[in-house]
Amino acid sequence: MKDNSIVVIMGPTGSGKSELALELAQKIPAEIISADSMQLYKGMDIGTAKPSTEEQKLVPHHMLDVFDIAKRFEVFTYVRLASEAIASIQSRNKIPIVAGGSGMYIKALLYGLDPLPSDSELSKQLYDKYENNNALLIAELAEVDPKAAESFREKPRKMIRALEVFTLTGKSILEQNTQWDAEKLKYSVLAFKIKREREDLFARIALRTDKMLASGWIDETEMLIANGLNSSPTAKVPSGYRLIRKDREGLISYEELRMRIIADTKKYARRQETWFNNQHPEAKIIRLPEDKEHFFNDVLMTLK
């Protein structure tokens, strides 16, 4: 591989990306870069399955605990910071291992995104106007950019961003966003997408949910709420945290909470599988657990 080579491990939630990256990083001189959009936030540890303190001591990790939960965050910022992390790791003659399930972030990092214009003052004005009035936001975005209003209907942050871009450019964000050239990777990439049998994946999701709840996920959510999670423009997105808030408010029982988190996580995993099935032609499929040793041998031989 070339001097700017990186290893990428992608796949749905619960598939074993972090464990595989950690084990690989201990076999080669490497450091790990998270490609999880929620692990960027401080305090969101249990609910995002963030690598533990002990795991981070074994191998240096990047793109964890970067922002306070009140910070608004875009994919372009991730690409900039992750690219800087890659350069830093390579300057120490180590291999960057990018591992995660946020498909858009991985795609943008590997292929690049055309930067969209932004204006901090305009963004603040739009958030002040629409953050607590979703109906007005949908209606006014639909007037100028009906396709974006339909695409982002359940995602207020993206609708506000679409309004910002339209105001600045006069064009739909859908005409300008996520524009990459699939023939022009920015790096020499050894990429893998994990696949597991659906029954195995879902069993892992259920087991992980139980462990996360037993490890203090509810207490973590209460702490985050005390620190402003309910008013956070970004970090309130993960469904598990939203459901736990309902449990704390007495709206659902603990068992219903558990079952709904598992069900929502399965739906999310299916959406991720769809993305990875249709993206990343550069990535080899690795079926776990049966291909694990083949994966290590493949990486080690290629990096020689």
Q: Looking at 73-87, 92-106, 114-128, which range is the least confident one?
A: 114-128
Q: Are 196 and 15 in contact (CB under 8 A)?
A: yes
Give the architecture (CATH level 2) of 120-176.
Orthogonal Bundle (1.10)
Q: Which residue has the tokens 């005390």?
A: 226
* Residue 64 CB neighbour total at 10 angstroms: 19
Residues of the chain with CATH 3.40.50.300: 5-113+180-303
**Helix 198-214 / helix 254-278 crossing angle, nearest 10 deg:** 140
Instruction: Find the mean pLDDT for residues 73-100.
Output: 92
Q: At how many degrees (to 10) do helices 120-130 and 134-144 cross?
A: 130
User: Closest Cα to residue 177, out of 156, 153, 152?
Assistant: 152
pLDDT at 1: 46
235 against 296, higher pLDDT: 296
pLDDT at 123: 87
Check whether 9 has a pLDDT greater than 70: yes
Domain range 5-113+180-303, its CATH number among 3.50.50.60, 3.40.640.10, 3.20.10.10, 3.40.50.300: 3.40.50.300
Residue 235 sits at φ, ψ, to 5 deg, of -75, -5
Give the pLDDT score at 177: 54
pLDDT tens digit string along 243-276? 898 887 788 899 999 999 999 999 999 999 999 9
Residue 96 Cα distances to 22, 90, 191, 250, angstroms:
12, 7, 12, 45
185-222 tens-digit pLDDT: 889 999 999 999 999 999 999 999 999 999 999 999 99
Q: Kindly give, in sequence order, each residue whose CB lies less than 8 Å from that of residue 271, ignoring residues fewer than 6 positions away.
A: none
pLDDT tens track for 112-167:
876 677 888 898 899 889 988 889 999 999 999 998 998 888 788 889 989 998 99
Q: How far apart are CA 63 and CA 72, in angstroms?
A: 15
pLDDT per residue as tens digits for the range 219-240: 999 999 888 887 776 655 567 8
Residue ranges of E strands in 218-299: 283-287
Cα angle, residue 72 at apex, residues 68 and 78 outer, rounded to 5°: 85
194 strand-pairing partners? 286
3-class secondary structure, 180: coil
Question: Which residue type, as a one-letter code, is found at position 191?
Answer: A
Give the residue range(s) of CATH 1.10.20.140 domains in the chain: 120-176
Please give the DSSP secondary-structure letter assigned to residue 32.
E
Give long-range contacts, CB 8 A cutoff, 24+ apart: 160-166. Answer: 160/123, 160/126, 160/127, 160/130, 160/131, 161/74, 161/123, 163/126, 163/130, 163/137, 164/118, 164/119, 164/122, 164/123, 164/126, 165/116, 165/117, 165/118, 166/141
